[in-house]
A = this chain, B = another copy of it.
Amino acid sequence: MTKPVIALLGTGYMGAPMARNLLKGGYVLKVWNRSLDKAEPLAQDGAEVFGKAKSAVQDADIVITMLTDGAAVEEVLFTYDAAGMLKTGAMVIDMSSIKPAQAREHAAKLEAMGHKHLDAPVSGGTKGAEDGTLAIMVGGDKGDFEAAKPVLACMGRAVHVGPHGAGQLAKLANQAIVGTTIGVVAEALLLAKQGGADPDAIRDALKGGFADSIILQQHGGRMTSGNFEPGALSKIQLKDLNNILEEAGHLDLTLPLAEHMQARYSRLVDELEGGGKDHSGIYLELKDRNGL
């Protein structure tokens, strides 16, 4: 069995380390990025660098997209018409975080053209991308998932979570939990601090118990040290919460905590800090609300 030829579109802060892990996995890799300078360094890792997305995908069996949002994916696939250059039966694995509805639409368009599609957004940040330990949430046909598994395994742990769009739904579920957990960790630590307890000791005391999480330890640590350098931006957390509520709206669902946190992050971003701080900055919003 020969290995599939892969094209990776989008070699930014996530895509570049993912590309390196695919090269380490022994795949022939063609890369493209909107600003070419971010793709060029990958030549010395063995990638073939292209100035146009259409050219990069021409002989590829698998096309991986790792772009900013749904509009960027739409543009590259259908406006620049990378999709039109694909070999029949090629598979597009979209690892960008986009709206579930967009992922379903892309899948339908590609299928109509005779191609396959998986939505496969990730969690784990640049560290996960570098270490090849990303959580990869995959929506689409189960058989396509099985076929893509060896490729995905170079980049992290892939789990099939349902049909087209389900990977993006899982990512939204992830972001709902992250944003709200940050919110309640802020309350717990502020309560402790105002009551005279030591918030760092409390994080230590809670370690390994029911209240423990990466959020409590990492984001909670940022709150007690007062260091809100990102990390993940509060304005991205707000965008995620907006997408969660939009998808909930499509499904006629009320999600009261997501609504509450959307209002809180709106206030943080629009009235307090402009969106450039880490999402653990909701601690600042809580303090402000309490006149502290």
A: residues with CB less than 8 A from B are: 100, 123-124, 133, 135-139, 157, 159-163, 165-166, 169-170, 172-178, 180-181, 183-185, 187-192, 194-198, 201-202, 204-216, 244, 247-248, 251-258, 260, 264, 286, 289-290
Verify B123–A191 contact, CB threshold 8 A.
Answer: no
Q: Which residues of B contact A196 (CB under 8 A)?
A: 162-163, 165-166, 169
Verify A191–B205 contact, CB threshold 8 A.
Answer: no
Could you give 15 example pairs across A and B, Cβ below 8 Å?
A135-B207, A161-B205, A169-B196, A173-B189, A174-B206, A177-B184, A177-B206, A180-B181, A180-B184, A181-B213, A184-B257, A210-B214, A212-B213, A212-B214, A254-B290
Verify B123–A195 contact, CB threshold 8 A.
Answer: no
Are A251 and B195 also in contact (CB < 8 A) when A123-B209, A211-B123, A256-B260 are?
yes
Distance to closest chain B CB from A174 (angstroms): 4
Verify B257–A202 contact, CB threshold 8 A.
Answer: no
Are A139 and B253 also in contact (CB < 8 A) when A183-B180, A206-B170 are?
no
Are A257 and B183 also in contact (CB < 8 A) when A192-B173, A196-B165, A202-B173 are?
yes
How many copies the complex holds: the figure is: 2
In the complex formed, the residue of B with least CB distance to A136 is B205
Verify A251–B194 contact, CB threshold 8 A.
Answer: yes
Are A206 and B253 also in contact (CB < 8 A) when A191-B172, A247-B195 are?
no
Distance to closest chain B CB from A260 (angstroms): 6
Q: Which residues of B contact A174 (CB under 8 A)?
A: 188, 206, 209-211
Q: Which residues of B contact A214 (CB under 8 A)?
A: 209-210, 212
Verify B170–A205 contact, CB threshold 8 A.
Answer: yes
Q: Which residues of B contact A169 (CB under 8 A)?
A: 191-192, 195-197, 202
Verify B177–A211 contact, CB threshold 8 A.
Answer: yes
Q: Which residues of B contact A211 (CB under 8 A)?
A: 123, 173-175, 177-178, 181
Q: Which residues of B contact A137 (CB under 8 A)?
A: 202, 205-206
Whole-angstrom CA separation of A154 from B77 in the bound complex: 62
Whole-angstrom CA separation of A214 from B207 in the bound complex: 11
Whole-angstrom CA separation of A156 from B215 in the bound complex: 23
Verify B257–A187 contact, CB threshold 8 A.
Answer: yes
In the complex formed, the residue of B with least CB distance to A159 is B205
Q: In the complex, which of the residues B162, B185, B210 contacts A197, with contact meaning CB atoms closer than 8 Å? A: B162
